[in-house]
Amino acid sequence: MKDMPFILPSDAYDVTYRDEVGLISTSDFIEHEGMTIFNCRPRYPVFGGWASSFEIHYKLPIADRLHKTKSGVHYVELKVGQLALDAITSSFKMDIVLPETSKLLAHNYNKIGFKTSILTFRTNLGIFDSPVIQITSNNVLDDLLGDEIKIEFEYSLTQSFMSKCFFLYMVFQLLFIAFICYKLVRAFISKLIKPSKALDKKLQ
């Protein structure tokens, strides 16, 4: 196998393709009928029975996929999986991470052979959990991927900002109280030590 064709969204940009060694630049883009075919060429030829591990990263314009209704409900529309031509995906997993402090309302993906789980995720610098929709399956044919999922969720940027500010305020308050307690305990201990030293001098 000299190349592996993948169908990317027509508005995909900033595409990177890497394997265990690093970035690979030997690939081709072909625009055809409103879609972009990305021919990934492995660093080394893949023969029968051989395995190749790689990653494809790309960005999409968020304004074309994230929308807000008049009632304030947000919804996002994404394709599940990336369609690979004439290939079988042995283990498929897709995580859709919603904004921090958002509330998942519903999704419309209930395809046979795919398992949908609702999880939570927190970044290293995150304060609150983020809802995650995880879609998994095994031995997936190429024609089973590429369907669209619609996710509805509630999210308020102002509420999220206020929640984080309140959390930080409470943390600083607790640190201040802990510091005051530390100073009081230290002063109390120092008062107990001074009389004992004066008593020792009298005994001498």
Rounded mean pLDDT of 136-163? Answer: 76
Q: Where are the beta strands (DSSP E) in 42-200?
A: 54-59, 66-68, 73-79, 88-97, 103-107, 115-121, 130-141, 148-154
Tell me, yes or no, whether 162 and 135 share the same domain: no
Tell me, yes or no, whether 83 and 138 share the same domain: yes
Residues 103, 106: Cα–Cα separation, whole Å:
10
Evaluate if residue 84 carries a pLDDT over 70. Answer: no
Q: Is the pTM of this model over 0.85?
A: no
Tell me, yes or no, whether 185 and 197 share the same domain: yes
Residues 204, 202: Cα–Cα separation, whole Å:
5
Residues 83, 86: Cα–Cα separation, whole Å:
9
Rounded mean pLDDT of 144-161? Answer: 76
Tell me, yes or no, whether 98 and 128 share the same domain: yes
The whole domain housing 163 covers 157-203
pLDDT at 199: 47
Please tell me the number of Cα atoms within 13 Å of 13 on its side-chain side: 4
Mean pLDDT lowest for which of 19-33, 110-124, 129-143, 166-180?
19-33
- Please name which of 40, 44, 37 lies closest in space to residue 26, comparing C-alpha atoms: 40
Tell me, yes or no, whether 75 and 147 share the same domain: yes
Residues 37, 83: Cα–Cα separation, whole Å:
10
Identify the domain boundary among 137, 155, 173. 155
Q: Domain count of the chain? A: 3
Tell me, yes or no, whether 42 and 126 share the same domain: no
